[in-house]
Structures are given as C-alpha cells and as structure tokens.
Structure 1
Amino acid sequence: MRYRLLAGLAAVALITGAGGAFAASPPNALVIGTNLGAIPALDPAAINARTVSEVVSNLYDNLVMVNPDDLTTIRPMLAEKWTISDDKRTITMTLRKDATFASGNPVTAEDAAWTIQRVIKMGAVGSTDIALWGFTKDNVDSLVTATDPQTLVIKLPEPVSTDLVLYSLAGASLGIIDKKTALANEKNGDLAQNWLKSNSAGSGPFKLTQWRPNDILLTDARADYWGGAPAMKRVVMRHVPESGNMRLQLDAGDIDVGQYMASGDIEALEAKGATIDPGPGLGFYYIAMNTQDPDLAKPKVREAFQHILDWKPLAATTMKYNGFPWQSIIPKGMAGAPTTEPTGHEYDPEKAKKLLAEAGYPNGLKKTLYPSSDALLKMAVALQDSARKAGVEFEIVPGEHTPDFRARKFQVLVGNSGTRLPDPFGTLVQYAYNPDNRDEAKLGGYYLWRTALEAPELLKLVDESKAETDPEKRKAIFQQVDKGYQALPPSLIITLQRTDPYVIKKGVTGYVGHPTWSTRWFDVKKN
C-alpha cells in the first residue's frame, strides 16, 4: 500500500507541476480522487453516469443550465435568451456571440442543432431524455434547425411541457459539440463516435489534456473561456478505488476532493475538519426482480421480497452517508412526494415466509443475486444475510452487472439510480414507464422495461404528466403514479433515496455536488 501511495503522489506531483514533492496539492490545481473505472467513454451522447457527467459538464457547455441550489430555475448558458410560442410547440433560442470552442471555432446554432440531431441519431443512453419528447431519427433534422448563426429553433413533435425540454437540454449528454472538429475526425459515417470516446470538442471552461483509463484524467483551464478564466488552472481526476487509500491522501492534503468513499472513512475525515457535501441525489437504492423469471413474475413473491432486506442497520452504518430511508419513487421534497417518510417495506422475515408459502413456495426460494457494481457488493451481502431468515437463499455473483441489468440478463439485482431531470418525471419515467415490453425493443433506459413488468395504467399517467403544465394537476398525477406503483407490487423495491457524498479538504471552496451530476469546477478556489 505504501508503494502504491507514493507512486500515486509522484504521478500527481509530476502532472500538476508540483516539482516532485509529495506535499499538498498546488494552490492553482484541484485534485479529485474518484473511481475512473466508471468512465467507458467521454462522448456526451454515450453517457449517463455520475463521474463522467461531471467531466463532460466541464469540457462542454450546454444551451441552458440549472444551479445545484435551485433546481427549479432554468438559467442561460450558451443560449442568452429564448422564447416559447403561444402554442407551446416551438422554442426559439438566441445564442451568445462570444463563445468559442477549445479549437478556436465559434459556437454557432448549427453546432447546437447538429449536437441534438446527433444524440437522437446515435440512439445511445444519452438520448433517453430528449427522445421522450417525440424526436426520432426521421424527424429530428427538420424539427431542430439553425435559421442563422445565432438562432436555434426547436419544434416539438408532440405536446410536452417546455420546462421538461429545457431541463433535458441542461443535461451532460446535450453538451454542445464542435461540429467542424468532430466531423473532421469522423470515420465511415460514425458521427465521430470513436474519436469522441477519448477526445473532446467542447466550449467549456476546461479542455481535455490527457486521459488514461483507470489511471488519471487531466484537464487544463481555458484562458479564453467566454465566462472568464477559472481560478483553477488545472483539474486532475485520479483513479483511487480504495476508500482507505483515498482517506490517507485526503488526510495528507494530496487530494482535495474525495468521491465514492466508505462511511467509516468519511466519518473519520469529518472529525478532522473536512467538509462533507452530502450530494443530495435524485435517485434511489433498489432491489430489482426480473419478471421474466416465472417465480418472480408472481405478485406474492414480489410482495414477499419487500420484507427480506433488513435495511435499517444498513442505513445507519454502511449507507450512513450514501442514502436515507425513503420508499417512494418521487424524490423527497418534489411535487407529489410524501410529506412524511413513506413506509411499507419493513423487514419482516415471518411475513415474507407466509407470502412465499401463499405463492406456492413453502420451502422458500433460491435465486442468483447481482450487485450492479462492486460498490453495491456490501448491500448485496446484507440482503443475502437477512433474506436467509425469510427462506430466500441468494448466490451472489460479484462484478459490474449494469450491462446485464440493461439487457434483462439477471434474476435479482441490487443497484442505484440517478436522473438528470430535476423533476418528478425524471424518476417516474425510470420506474413506472415501459412503452414496449418486447425484448427486441431494447429500452434499457427504462428500469421497468429492464425488469420486464408491464404497467399500462402507469404508462398512461406518466405520459399525461409529460404534457401537463398546471402545477397542481401535475402534483395529483405524480401522487396517482406513486400510489399505483406501490400497488403492483413493483418489480423494483426502493428502500433508500440516494446521496452522493463529496469529502472536501479544508480550504477548498466552490466545489458543490450537483444533484443531476453536472458538478462544475469553474467557481472552485483554494485558500
């Protein structure tokens, strides 16, 4: 461990220009310890995860943005202003004239139109939000257009709340790409997908300097950024997968911000004066059941599974900084969310045994249990231990199983979710929306599809909420969906609402975790 620690510090010292000393990180550089293994590519259109969204949000600007302390106000970014037609079907945006890409090319409405068209045509995970508004490969070119270098026109193919459209434009997957640079690196009509996996072409305050997967990611500030030069001249993200190692480096001052840390290490650093940003999230920790499995297709079995996880001690220990008790698919504090902590999924092994017997399993069940990633392994082990008392035997298969979850290749899985839409619709469309249950539909962006559960009444209500603009009517629809979801019984059992804690070294200011993962580095300073 000592050898690895010294080697890591030497790498940071070398890259940040610290003169080779193993001292505190330089005053003009921010060093973030994280898990870079979660970054498969840097292409905005192909991302939907926390760490890579943070990186992309600093390499690319969006048309609009929302601040972490005010998710209800949509603010200008590359678009200085916008108007909405009387029929609510056309958004006309005026782009600022002083923005340039890292290449030096000016940011134009044509770049913005091409970026939106590209994400729809690629159909990767980054298109999930924007595709919900009715855009397809066949209609997006005619509906999203640039009428002059500064004017972008977005015509909506179907009625939808324009706020939802603007929220999706603020997501990391819609970071505006330098069309000219990207197409100069296109191969065989791939829309520069291969090149953008490991390169950037954005107008953000930082530019990519180096990325070595599972090792280090280095960005340098742009002195010519339209918003002014950031205080940090360099931001380094280092791959530090072991929480104990991260704690040592934070304690020594070699790392400024730590992510993905164990509760015990966070608690120890907090006692020494580190700031803990709780990172309130818009997702949940869940137990997912594949209803293509004949056993799990039975409602009584799914109801029994609501009582097999002893989650209260988990919430007080392992998950202390990573979530809080919550059993609704509407995040706490949002429209339609319960005003008190919802209950129903209490640990009750005897009740679970009774329900399993009623379902035809008096001797219990045996199933394979997958953690969606190594970070969920402890939760999987806790479920295995407590479920045994309820007559459910789990065989755990460690590893990164999110791809299996998206492809319906699992029995039971523990995982967590997040959303980039700061609106209840963002979580309802994950947990209560399945427009096409066929395997060949491949709708891996929808968790209800992943679990192969059809819920046509909920589908109808979620679609209604998409077009509704009256706040009270939307709230009532959200409450209906939440109530109907719990009555299924659901194929995704929620026990905790997710938080993403950031451990911040004393003297570092301006680093604020964003609930939609668009954490930005522009305002970071070091005293």
Structure 2
Amino acid sequence: MNKLTQISLAAFLAMPLGLPPALADTPSDILVIASNINDIVSIDPAEAYEPSSGELVGQTYDRLVQYDATDLETLAPGLATEWTADAEAKTITFTLREGVTFTSGNPLTGADVVYSWKRVFVLNKSPAAILGQIGWTPENYDEMVSAEGNTVTVRYTADVSPAFVLNVLASRPGAIVDMKTTMENEVDGDMGNAFLKANTAGTGPFVLRDYRPAEMINLVANPDYFGGAPAMRSVIVRHVAESATQRLLLETGDIDIARNLTGDQATALEGKDGIRVETFPQATVHFLSLNQKAEALQPPAVWEAARYLVNYEGMADSFLKGQMQVHQAFWPSGFPGALNDTPYSYDPEKAKQILADAGIETPFTVTLDVINADPFPDMAQSMQATFAEAGINLDILPGTGSQVITKYRARTHQAMLLYWNPDIMDPHSNAKAFAYNSNNGDDFYAPSTTWRNAWAVPDEINAETMAALAEADEATRLEMYQDLQRKVQQDSPIIMTFQASDRVALADDVLGYVHGPTSNFIYYRLVTKD
C-alpha cells in the first residue's frame, strides 16, 4: 500500500461516523460503502444469521461449491474443483483445489472441511438447522463426512437429490474455516467461536482488518486469492443509519455506494452528474394469503377472483417503483427453476363474474392484517380499493411486525400481506413453504405459509414436492418445480404478487459491484474504479 493510500485510509478510519466528512473523493483503490450494519450479532459462519453478517461472510470465506461473483445463476467450483455424486448411495465425493491457503498462510486440507461443518453442529447455533436438512445430526456427523488426502466424501441420509445437498453446502454455514487458527484461539472449548465473532479465518478474497460493531468494517484484499486478487486494496463499510446522510455523503464524493436510500431519494439521484442508480431484484417474494379457517375465504372462486383484484402494475409503476417488480410464482426470478409467467392482471369485471358464476354473495368483509411499515400500508390501501370493486371489503388491521407474524403463526388472521425469504438458494426452500402441508392439524406446527394459512395441500401436490426434492436429474427436477409453481399460482389461497428489489446508488466510476438476490450474494471482489 502506497503512502497516499495509507494516509487516505487513516483519514477514513478517523472520520466521525454518520457525519459528512470534508474529503472530496475516495481513494482510487479503496471502496467506501455507507450501509446500516447494526444487525450484526456474529460473523462466525457457524453463527452468522443476519443479512449484514452474511454479506461479510461472503467476502471472507469460501465453500466447496458456491455461486460466484462472475455468475450468480450457476453453482460453480469453489474450494473443490470437481465432484461426483451417487444419488443411489447418497454420496458426493469432492476433490479439493490444490495450492489454496487460508489468509493465515495455513494450507487448506480435508481436515479443515470436516472440522468446519462439525463445529456448526457442536456450537448448535441457528445455522445448524440448514445443514441438518440433509440428515446430518451431532450424533451421526462423524459417519457422514470423511477426508483422505485432497478428497472429501460426504454422505447424507435424507431422501433428497444431490443438487439439494450441493445447495445446502453452498450456503453460509458451509463456509470452510482455518482449523489451526481457530483451535489456537479456542477458549473453554468454544471451538474459536468468541474469536470468530469479530475476526475471520477463511480463504476468501478479503480479510477482516478491523470491525467495530455498529460503526465500521474494514476489509483488506487477499493478494493470494485463488480466484485472483481484488482490484480494491481495501473496502470500508461505514455504519450510516440515516438514509439522508448516506445520500449527502454520496453527493459530496465521500462514499462510493449508498445502500439504504428511500425510493424518493434514489429517484432524486437518477441522472445526477457522477452518480447512477441501479435496481437489483432480490429473493424476497411478497404475497397475499387467505386463511382457510375463515369460511368466506374457503371457496376456490374467491382465490381466483382475488388474483384479478390486485392492481399489480398500478402499484409497481407508482409507490412501489424501484422497490418491487411483478412476480406471480413462489420461487424468485434469477435462479434456476424460476417461473416468470405473469398471467394475472387487474380485471375487476372478470373477478365479479367469477364470484357470480360460483354463486358467492357479495358484499362481504374480510380483515387484512398488515405490518405498519412501508410499503405495506400503501399496498393494503390499494387492495382495499380494488377488492371493493368486486364487493370484497377489506378491513385493514395494522400492527408491528412481531404482532402480525405472531398472529400469522397462530393461524388467527383472515387475510394477510407478508413476504418470504428462502433459507438456501434451492427451489425446495420455497416449495416446502408454498406447496407442501402434510398435516394441517392445529397441534402440528409447521414453519410454512401453507400450514399457517390452514391450507390442506392436495395429496398430489405434496407428493410432487417431495418427489422434486429427491429427483436426481437436475433438468427434470427444475421442470417439476416450475410445474409446482404453476399449480400454486393457479389454484391456491396464496396469491403471489411481487418480488422485492434493492435500489443502490453508486458513484459513476464504480464498476463490477455485484448485488445479488440475498446478502449472501453481494460481492466486492470484481469492483474497479474507472
């Protein structure tokens, strides 16, 4: 690092955070981001569960297989160069990449892989449930994973496809940590958890130099990264909670990227000299759910009519502009298996005819629970107006997020506006939520929108969901998920409406920034400044 960069970096680290500094431009080899990062609890891959911590894990660790910054739609080699799967034997064998070292200088070995995944189960934090989906438990893990030389053998017990296993291992808790460094920093048998809460021990393109909770993150480039050294010598993420301050810092040239602008602020920056605004689809899907415990919402004709009473385009082109795009299937666009058909549009006359043909008497009133935070109240008011056109009166009940979700989990709502994020980037992650409910009993809680809306999913759809999970042929498997999406899209009490988008404002000279559909798919490695 040259003297100018050292001075510039020191100046940035000395700035009072949240206040506009007096610099004119960021250094050419330092990327400066303003973002709200006060959600971070831990950056240990075995514990990290928040969006900001997931983003940080993605910069500093690798997995055996992963979605790379160069192609977010293809599961690609990471720390493994190749793998062979035996679906019948429920076994996948990985060949590790030669010559990879951790940022400590320690060489990557198969023992690091075995240790990394085992500590997820020993620590038993929230991410353990993700790896547990393939049948691993603390009791059977030692029989499931083994290593010899540069080969790692993975066995699994769940009735799932190899593709699903690979996507589980490509998720955040699949990150490989430096066993030697971690064990050297172990305290009271914690497998280095206290150390990794605020330090990194990975192979990734960046290394954590400094982390101050709710203040800043300072990453420095790993010059020996197997995928090529990043162009940016350093990335600084400044905690700036106020969107107005983020905008001001970008306009004065004191940051390169503003991540948390309101829709109005992002729109105001469009076309401004030296700044561009980009929209990135996210994996979050939004939906209107109709609880089948409410008698008025049980007829399938009500489900069908509701699909024609949402003013999708009207909302997307006005107050949701830049925040959401119309999406009417349960798996988000941008990943294999997504169904991008949008067969429904606002047509109140058609909706009225559907209700009349089914002999449903109108008007009738339904309560609509909604989180009292943007943009949900505006969405609810739009639906209140459009549903009234067909004689369905929506009585809006606003509440805090915790109040609304608690009611949803208890199945005591009638209609509700909500959203869903996949746990892993595999279509089964959403299929199990929107197309599966094998036990609709009140005493059988399931963390799915089908159970929470008391929809007894038809047996054939339940069977197809589980068959898709186990299907070994990837092309066939993706076709099955598209078929499931069509069936839920056409005939269910869950009306898919939108896919969320993030609007990010960047300095014009920042190129190569990758902002994928979840925080796990945000990458700085390819960033350059022109």
Task: State the TM-score, normalized to the length of structure 1.
Answer: 0.80
Equivalent positions of 1:126-145 (< 5 A) are 126-127=127-128, 129-145=130-146
Q: Mean Cα displacement is larger for which, 51-60 or 33-42? A: 33-42
Check if 1:64 corresponds to 2:61: no
Q: Note the C-alpha offset of 1:478.
A: 2.2
Identity of aligned residues (%): 30
Q: What amino acid is the match of 1:261?
A: L
Partner of 2:258: 258
Per-residue CA distance 1:496-525 (angstroms, 9 max, x = gap): 123333322111122111235322212212
Q: 1:352 to 1:227 in 2, by over 3 A?
A: same
2:281 matched to which residue of 1?
A: 280
Which residue of structure 1 lines up, in the alignment, with residue 378 of structure 2? 381
Counterpart mapping for 1:47-58 below 5 A: 47=48, 50-58=51-59
Q: Does 1:481 find its partner at 2:478?
A: no
Q: CA deviation at 1:57?
A: 0.2
For the residues of structure 2 that align with 1:386 and 1:483, how far apart are their CA atoms?
Answer: 23
Superposition deviation, residue 267 in structure 1: 2.7
Given candidates 463, 466, 470, the residue that maps to 1:467 is 470
Letter in 2 for 1:232: M
Q: Deviations over 1:61-98 (max 9, x none)?
A: 11122235644533222123323348463222222343
Q: 1:74 to 1:21 in 2, by over 3 A?
A: same
Shift of 1:10: 11
Shift of 1:464: 0.8
Q: 8 Å contact 1:48–1:125 — kept in the other structure? A: yes
Corresponding residue for 2:85? Answer: 84
Contact 1:90–1:156 (8 Å) recurs in 2: yes
- Provide the C-alpha distance between the structure 2 equivalents of 1:506 and 1:48, rounded to a whole number of angstroms: 32
User: Counterparts of 2:47 and 2:361 in 1: how far apart (Å)?
Assistant: 44
Among candidates 396, 399, 409, match of residue 397 of structure 1: 399
Residue 127 of structure 1: how far off its partner (Å): 4.4
Q: 1:493 aligns with which of 472, 492, 495?
A: 495
3-state SS of 1:92 partner: strand
Q: How does 1:414-429 map to 2 (within 5 A)?
A: 414-419=417-422, 421-429=424-432
Distance in 1, Cα, partners of 2:46 & 2:112: 14
Match of 1:3 in 2: none
Secondary structure, counterpart of 1:469 in structure 2: coil
1:147 maps to what in 2?
148
**Cα offset, 1:153, TM superposition:** 0.9
**Per the alignment, do residues 485 and 137 of structure 1 end up closer, same or farther by CA in structure 2, a change over 3 Å counting?**
farther
Q: For 1:317 and 1:38, how far apart are their aligned partners in 2?
A: 30
Question: Which position in structure 2 is the counterpart of 1:222?
Answer: 222
Instruction: Give deviations 1:263-300, integer Å, cap 9, x for gaps.
Output: 33223323125344432334412235666x65698456
- Say whether the 8 Å CA contact 1:349–1:387 is kept in structure 2: no
Alpha-carbon shift at residue 223 of structure 1 (Å): 4.1
User: In the alignment, what sits opposite 2:522?
Assistant: 519
Give the conservation status (yes or no) of the 8 Å contact 2:370–2:376.
no
User: CA offsets, 1:215-253, max 9 Å, x none?
Assistant: 322323334544454222221222334433322222222
Deviation at 1:413, TM superposition (A): 5.2
SS at match of 1:416: strand
8 Å Cα contact 1:72-1:422 kept in structure 2 = no
Q: Secondary structure at the match of 2:522?
A: coil
- SS for the counterpart of 2:270 is helix
Distance 1:522 1:195 in 2: 25
Tell me if the contact between 1:181 and 1:201 (Cα under 8 Å) persists in the aligned partners.
Answer: yes
Q: Distance in 1 between matches of 2:442 and 2:197?
A: 28
**Aligned equivalents of 2:104, 2:119: Cα separation in 1:** 20
Q: What CA distance in whole angstroms lies between the structure 2 residues aligned with 1:418 and 1:25? A: 34
Aligned to 1:168: 168
d(CA) in 1 for partners of 2:295, 2:341: 33
Equivalent position of 2:509 in the other structure: 507
Does 1:23 pair with 2:20? no
Q: Could you tell me which residue of structure 2 aligns to residue 4 of structure 1? A: none
2:286–2:499 contact (8 Å) kept in structure 1: yes
Q: 2:411 touches 2:454 (CA, 8 Å); kept in 1?
A: no
**For the residues of structure 1 that align with 2:455 and 2:313, how far apart are their CA atoms?**
28
The equivalent residue for 1:433 is: 436
The whole-number CA distance in structure 2 between the counterparts of 1:441 and 1:11 is: 57
SS at match of 1:39: coil
- 8 Å CA contact 1:10, 1:21 repeated in 2: no
- The aligned runs of 1:172-211 (5 Å cut-off) are 172-183=172-183, 193=193, 196-211=196-211
The alpha-carbon distance between structure 1 residues 26 and 410, as it changes in their structure 2 partners (threshold 3 A), is: farther
**CA–CA distance in structure 2, aligned partners of residues 453 and 33 of structure 1:** 43
Task: Give the letter aligned to residue 269 of structure 2.
Answer: L
Aligned mates of 2:270, 2:189 — CA distance in 1 = 51
Report the residue type matching 1:329 in the other structure. Answer: F
The amino acid that maps onto 2:502 is: D
Q: What is the rounded CA distance, in whole Å, between the counterparts of 1:358 and 1:278 in structure 2?
A: 44
Residues paired across the two proteins, number: 508
Select between 299-308 and 334-343 the one with higher mean Cα deviation. 299-308
Superposed displacement of residue 58, structure 1? 0.5
The 1:228/1:326 distance shift into structure 2, 3 A limit, reads closer
Match of 1:474, SS state, is: helix
Q: Distance in 2 between matches of 1:37 and 1:289?
A: 35
AA aligned opposite 2:507 = K
2 CA distance for matches of 1:89 and 1:145?
Answer: 14
SS at match of 1:342: coil
Judged with a 3 Å threshold, the aligned counterparts in structure 2 of structure 1 residues 406 and 379 are, in CA distance, closer, same or farther, namely closer
Distance change >3 Å, CA 447–CA 206, structure 1 → 2: farther
Letter in 2 for 1:61: D
1:56 deviation in Å? 1.0
Could you list the runs of 5+ residues in structure 2 that have no partner in the other structure?
Answer: 1-8
Tell me which amino acid in the other structure corresponds to 1:425: H
In 2, the alpha carbon distance for the partners of 1:420 and 1:101 equals 27
> SS of 1:207's equivalent?
strand
Relative distance call for 1:265 and 1:182 in structure 2 (3 A) is same
Deviation at 1:435, TM superposition (A): 5.8
